[in-house]
A and B are shown apart, each in its own frame.
Chain A
Amino acid sequence: MSAAAANRSDGAAADGVDLSALSADSHVNDVLDELDRELIGLKPVKARIRDIAALLLVERARKQLGLNGGAPSLHMSFTGNPGTGKTTVALRMAQILHRLGYVRKGHLIAVTRDDLVGQYIGHTAPKTKEILKKAAGGVLFIDEAYYLYRPENERDYGQEAIEILLQVMENQRDDLVVILAGYGERMQTFFRSNPGLSSRIAHHLDFPDYLAPELEQIAQRMLLAMQYRLSDSGAAALRDYIPLRMQQPHFANARSIRNALDRARLRQANRLFAQRGRRLTRDELMTIEGEDLRASRVFA
């Protein structure tokens, strides 16, 4: 029996492979559906993740029939404004890659420049390598990757970290996925000054800003998770609040919404506390009223 034939175990006959059986086998559809359900908007991102999942499934099927194209390179860059869900998607991505057998463990190690770059000569390489060892078998998520490169200081140690990353991205193709994340424009400059890095990244995913209705859904989702709900006046206030907040400086998409909700909780607590002396119902403790949101300074 040849090696290729020996590899053929689950669901593969000599003449073909059943892709649907394979995908059911890996439960990847569950993760993809969960992604669709739980993440609002982000259409282009979801489409690209489906593409990648399909590619990995087909690659698996090909392997079962003894066709070997070499593991595809899956290093990615996530660009987008603050609060557009880059970290959340990266977490899901790690799960998907694990289900499809691309990485062995499927954990996510999130780092920034401080974790990779050392403080004196000879400190950077061991530091970066240690992080890479920890990330092996999963996904290394480098947030705000452009800080690694500081053009104004040519002796900056960031360059050393980039070079080590490049080596590993090239060699360890089959057991580590590096995701570089950051805000759109600065990432573009970063890639322009590090063409080697850009060319080793197969997938550039751009995270679009959320639209007002999407943000509203996200807010509802967050409240549900925190076991709160909006009264009718609260829902109306939220609908008015979002477009106003979007025009404010430093608007950070979902993150701003989360902060707004946290402040609304604060005001709700204050309002309830003011009425102490009577028994509060479960409903009252759960409900955020319009006045809790309307007290925000964006309405001023």
Chain B
Amino acid sequence: MRITQGTFSFLPDLSDAEIRAQIDYALAQGWAIGVEFTDDPHPRNCYWEMWGNPLFDLRSATGAMTEVLACRTARPQAYIRVNAFDATRGFETTRLSFIVNRPHHEPGFLLKRHEVGGRQIQYTLESYAAQLPEGRRYE
């Protein structure tokens, strides 16, 4: 199951030229770029790991693209996303975030229904990939 998180995730995967264009847009807005990766696809997982330092003061997407490509080479089977951070007072948050790499096979999620008091059901979403230990998922 293809996970859909962040901007553009319902579109087909972005090509490198499209990623570059989006980064250029973010830089034109004055946002800083960060590259992050993870192998835990759960939508509530907000602890992605950073690839290198955040990239401040870039003028062209070339520098960020080299980081994206380097991350992709090092972790071809991880989810990689590009974040654009807006430091403007009042925002001080990520303004744009999109996935630029995903594993070849995404096994999807198991939906667990847990019956509690009465007919009430609690739902739990569990990724099949995350059943393996970290680092061995998506091999």
Contacts and interface: CB of A to CB of B under 8 A. Distances in A.
Contacts of A134: 57-59, 63
B93 interface: no
B60 interface: yes
B130 interface: no
Nearest to A136: B62
A126 B63 CA distance: 13
A136 B61 CA distance: 8
A107 B55 CA distance: 17
A133 B63 CA distance: 4
A104 B27 CA distance: 13
Contacts of A138: 59-60
Contacts of B63: 132-134, 136-137
A258 interface: no
A109 B58 CA distance: 11
Interface in B52-68: 53, 55, 57-64, 66-67
A136 B63 CA distance: 6
Contact of A175 (B60, B64, B67): B60
Interface residues of A, number: 17
Interface string A89-125: 0000000000000011101010000000000000000
Contacts of B53: 126, 130
B25 to A, nearest CB: 13
A296 to B, nearest CB: 42
A130 B55 CA distance: 8
Nearest to B57: A134
A128 B10 CA distance: 38
Interface in A205-264: none
A68 interface: no
The prevalent SS among residues of A at the interface is loop
A176 interface: yes
A193 interface: no
A88 interface: no
Contacts of A104: 60-62
B70 to A, nearest CB: 10
Contacts of B58: 133-134, 136
A70 B41 CA distance: 42
Contact of A137 (B55, B57, B59, B67): B59
Interface string B31-66: 000000000000000000000010101111111101
Contact of A176 (B61, B62, B64): B62
Interface in A143-178: 172, 175-176
A88 to B, nearest CB: 20
Contacts of B64: 133
Contacts of B59: 105, 107, 109, 134-138
A107 B27 CA distance: 14
Interface of B: 53, 55, 57-64, 66-67
Interface of A: 103-105, 107, 109, 126, 130, 132-138, 172, 175-176
24 contacts: A103-B60, A104-B61, A104-B62, A105-B59, A105-B60, A130-B53, A133-B58, A133-B62, A133-B63, A133-B64, A134-B57, A134-B58, A135-B59, A136-B58, A136-B59, A136-B66, A137-B60, A137-B61, A137-B62, A137-B63, A138-B59, A138-B60, A172-B62, A176-B62
Top 6 nearest A-B pairs (CB, nearest first) are A137-B60, A133-B63, A136-B62, A136-B63, A105-B60, A107-B59
